[in-house]
Structure 1
């Protein structure tokens, strides 16, 4: 894939005129040491024979334009507390909406199981996962949040660990989230409680999740940002003197159909340089990153995939020994290593032209000094708004809405790249920025408001956190299961 173009720099030329705007970005202005761009939204497709979309937020619009070519079916065994009318209503609506003739070609058989006590509920969910066996047509579900005592303690982590070990999809619903949502709906005058837009969106979101957990692919990239590319997320969690690295990696078969997988590794605190640890913080040592990448490369070859580019997103800091390890393993490939910082970050982006000063999603600030020095350093720095205002197409036409509930906080990017011959640093920066915007849209667990981070980081962090929370016996089983690179849907 060619990166988007720009014009050659002329001495003394103003930055705003230095690069031409293309369909992928628009140059807005200079802000101090930053070049301000607006990235265009990557398109997505619901089927190769239908029009492309920017956002799948309005499910009614999805249903109108999209019918899955391949049928999927699943049985949802769902456990909840006896007499909980909120859950009964939710299950009825999920079943009703999946029975419509339009939309996903998805048959969902719901088997409700009501229990008398909170502890029994948690036991039933975990037991169902242990006895179900590897069956892609079964999803074990239940309500969490009633209690956090006894077998209910860390229920989410224990259930997802069992899901990965047994390769059975799970669907857990937090009762407190539903109650809070309905309270918010109740405060809006003139709206029927269960016809509230937020509640309906929540139901549709559950349907998208269940379809993905049954093995379906709700939508695919509408552009070739992922052609011959493996995208990897790395995140860490601490366990006593050890650190566990959660890994999620995604591959787009033929550049379109996304399949995502998981793996993990651990390393000891003694393997880290004390001076770096003290001055910069936790990082991933060379030996660990080499082992992980070799495993991912082998996994791609096993699936007979030609991968020319690797893009790695991570939350730990980047150090030279990690870069050395990546260069060694991926010496025959183009690669990017991107540190994504989304906390402890004081910068905000405001747009005084909007009613609430909210920026547009895709607002991109590039550090001009690093653009100039990239030839020598191989490093780029940028700030990206992954939440913000956006123009969303729906059954009512196109409308501008805020994809956030509070002041949008941008993410800070430090991009390290192999010296990709003939590619300008601006073009590389734009590719990474738009790839992040696309990866936000491929998180089928949260299609209404996408998370700030690329979905591979989100699930990598979930893997690391779950491993750190379960007991040692479960942890050992889980590590073995993850060594086989199971599909990501088992941890959704």
Structure 2
């Protein structure tokens, strides 16, 4: 390095967060932890009988049933639902299976009718797996997920699987093990279980809030054009690292079309709505610290609301803009195929409020760093701390975001890009118009 050279950036590698499983055993990889220890709260569900329904297309009925048998009895590294999750029984039979024509023009009605029929037979907190062709799921994902909110007698959650995923899994042993772990973990979570928690606390006590938006839709009302959009809120309550509670809410906003908002970059929560939301959150959790993640920059209305509600009550807060669409790319060492490692962090030492965090790339497993097996160049997250009254630094916030990528119980993959705060805020925003029966508030397990 030349004399007098000044670096404006600092590099470090964050270690992959450890997860805690049954009997307080710790592992980096969710599949390793579930296989060797079992889910974190196995003691709560050891007497449970887990009943599952199946809705599938007639053309793939045989393949779907074969997958269900593997889900129950096991395959390869996945040793079967009861062995892995330590429940009393896993029950699936022909009475819990409905075949539909998924190429029918009225396919949504077919799915809904099949769901309602199975839901009547299943006990509370059961799941229905829906396996259909890719086009049907891609085109109707949100509407299919929303069917769950039309049935209020019991909590019967949905798990969607595409035909292409099913066929690939049944042709590849490693892919099948991976898919079985993913689906089984989601089912366990949806019955109310906690597959794993972070071993180290994110903060001693406090709340993380994620905010994301849908794209505005133009509608006509009383001969006037309005733009309607929904925003999603995910609240993660962390108490001394021992208790995680996650709830979501979706809210509708109407704006004059004259504002000409395009996409989601310029969207924000009006001050009155933001004040109301924050009062609800602190009224429920009484947190000493509130950290807010947003997929767009914070607006002055949002900042004023935060100061009014949190600042006036002496509650420390931080506003973190998490930008996933950025021009940055990273390349690593030759030994890892010139691919960065998940956890690589670049800090802006000049501004002290900005960082580049890689949450995809080569992974730090329980057996050391593993080369990346998928194509493409990892895309990082750009973190910008817009306001901060907490004692935490931008490095601390990066560690928190990194940890929150590990609390997604809908996958056992190590390479998860987005923290759950943003990922599920986006999902609830998409589902917000269907949440009226729940006063706009539901559990994160409904979104998996």
For the superposition of Structure 1 and Structure 2, which TM-score range results when normalised by the shorter chain?
Answer: 0.7 to 0.9
Confirm whether residue 368 of structure 1 aligns to residue 330 of structure 2: no
Corresponding residue number in structure 2 for 1:463: 428
Q: 1:329 to 1:272 in 2, by over 3 A?
A: farther
Alignment of 1:46-445 (within 5 A): 46-47=21-22, 49-56=23-30, 59-60=31-32, 62-66=34-38, 68-71=42-45, 72-82=48-58, 84=60, 85-97=62-74, 99=80, 102-106=83-87, 107-111=89-93, 112-115=96-99, 117-118=101-102, 119=104, 122-130=108-116, 132=119, 136-145=124-133, 148=136, 154-165=139-150, 166=152, 167-180=155-168, 193-194=171-172, 196-237=173-214, 238-240=216-218, 241-270=227-256, 281-300=266-285, 306-331=286-311, 332-343=314-325, 345-371=326-352, 380-393=353-366, 397-398=367-368, 400-402=370-372, 405-420=375-390, 423=391, 427-445=392-410
Task: List runs of 5+ in structure 1 lacking aligned partners.
Answer: 1-13, 16-29, 183-192, 301-305, 372-379, 468-474
Confirm whether residue 33 of structure 1 aligns to residue 8 of structure 2: yes
String of CA shifts for 1:391-425, please: whole Å, max 9, x gaps.
212xxx445232754210101111133323xx3xx
Note the C-alpha offset of 1:442: 0.6
User: Could you list the runs of 4 or more consecutive aligned residues of structure 1 that deviate by over 4 angstroms after TM superposition?
Assistant: 98-101, 128-131, 271-274
Note the C-alpha offset of 1:197: 0.8
Give the 3-state SS of the residue equivalent to 1:70 in structure 2: helix
Conserved 8 A contact 1:39-1:430: no
Paired with 2:415 and 2:99, the residues of 1 have a C-alpha distance of 34
Paired with 1:216 and 1:46, the residues of 2 have a C-alpha distance of 12
Give the 3-state SS of the residue equivalent to 1:445 in structure 2: coil
Paired with 2:143 and 2:373, the residues of 1 have a C-alpha distance of 32
User: Please, what is the CA RMSD of the aligned residues?
Assistant: 3.1
Paired with 1:349 and 1:153, the residues of 2 have a C-alpha distance of 31
Paired with 1:50 and 1:272, the residues of 2 have a C-alpha distance of 56
Task: List runs of 5+ in structure 2 lacking aligned partners.
Answer: 219-226
Give the 3-state SS of the residue equivalent to 1:486 in structure 2: strand
Alignment of 1:438-453 (within 5 A): 438-453=403-418
Note the C-alpha offset of 1:170: 0.9
Paired with 1:404 and 1:176, the residues of 2 have a C-alpha distance of 17
Conserved 8 A contact 1:382-1:412: yes
Q: Report how many residues are paired.
A: 416
Paired with 1:322 and 1:347, the residues of 2 have a C-alpha distance of 28
TM-score of the two chains, using structure 1 as the length reference? 0.76
String of CA shifts for 1:53-73, please: whole Å, max 9, x gaps.
2222xx255322336222143
Conserved 8 A contact 1:73-1:214: no
Paired with 1:91 and 1:389, the residues of 2 have a C-alpha distance of 32
Paired with 1:227 and 1:108, the residues of 2 have a C-alpha distance of 37
Q: 1:211 to 1:253 in 2, by over 3 A?
A: farther
Note the C-alpha offset of 1:315: 0.9
Q: 1:234 to 1:254 in 2, by over 3 A?
A: same
Conserved 8 A contact 1:227-1:256: no
Give the 3-state SS of the residue equivalent to 1:358 in structure 2: coil
Give the 3-state SS of the residue equivalent to 1:298 in structure 2: helix
